[in-house]
Amino acid sequence: MADMLTEALKELALANRIAANEGVVDTFGHVSMRHPGNANRYFLSRSSAPDMVTAQGLIEYDLDSRPVRDPGVPQYSERVIHGEIYKARPDVMSVCHHHSASFMPLIAVGADYVPIFHLASVGGIRPPYWDQHDEFGDTNLLVVKPEEGASLARALGQHSMVLMRRHGVTVVGANVRVCVYSAIQTCRNAEYLVRAMAIGGTIASLSRGETELCGDVVGKTTGVARSWNSWTLRAAKAGGAIPAPKNGRPRATVRRKPARHKRK
């Protein structure tokens, strides 16, 4: 079990780096994972840019988003997003919260998200919006109180994604890889959708039946695994992968400048 947990934590660290490399998260945003051996716990990084997340920097929380032990490092203020969703949705094993630029035009005008190509079916048709102001009035837009996280979880319901007015997006998945896959594909779809809206005319979105059938394929083919391998390679080329080390502990890839030979 210890080895399984070690591998799961390495995968979560890599998930954050992949999401950063693929443009889903930037300085802000985070990917978490429910503890694979304890449904009442989850893991989330210390407060860090996603492309700098390491397995050693992951913190274990209970579902009230309290650290199991004092981490001695700064923590994400919006961790209740993750804890409250895990509390409300026993089926969810991973959560990604982001502010991708591809979604911001839709969020700014409150436009519906609809899938316009098959890989984006994972986001569903017209996922719900959550407006923090409706229930909590003027805030700094950060989701930091348990009641705010619980409100977001209620808006999410049984959907795989919820759009947050004037803020961003939260995506959930049955595991870390599916969650990251969904976050990336829905961001791409949002970008294509905004471009199509700018052209004008009727948007040819997937039907409900097509969306369900395409979404069903995700868990039955090698698509997620193939995508994960590709994104891992892309992150490695960008210097953001976490290779398997010889000593058993994950470490970040560091680009080294070629040595310069002194002239004699």
Instruction: Say if CB 76 and CB 30 are below 8 A apart.
Output: yes
d(CA 195, CA 191): 6
**Residue whose token pair is 């409100």:** 151
CB count in 10 Å sphere of residue 88: 17
d(CA 156, CA 143): 14
Is 78 known to be catalytic? yes
How distant is the alpha carbon of residue 151 from its chain centre?
19
The dihedral through the CA atoms of 12, 17, 23, 26 has a sign that is positive
Q: Which residues of 25-63 are buried (b: 16+ CB within 10 A; e: fewer)?
A: beeebbbbbbbbeeeebbbbbbebbbbbbbbebbbebbb
DSSP string computed for 26-83: SSS-EEEEE-TT-TTEEEEEBS--GGG--GGGEEEEETTS-BSS--SS-B-TTTHHHH
146 SS3 class = helix
Tokens of 162: 């919820």
Catalytic residue selected from 7, 11, 60, 78 = 78
Q: Which residues are catalytic?
A: 78
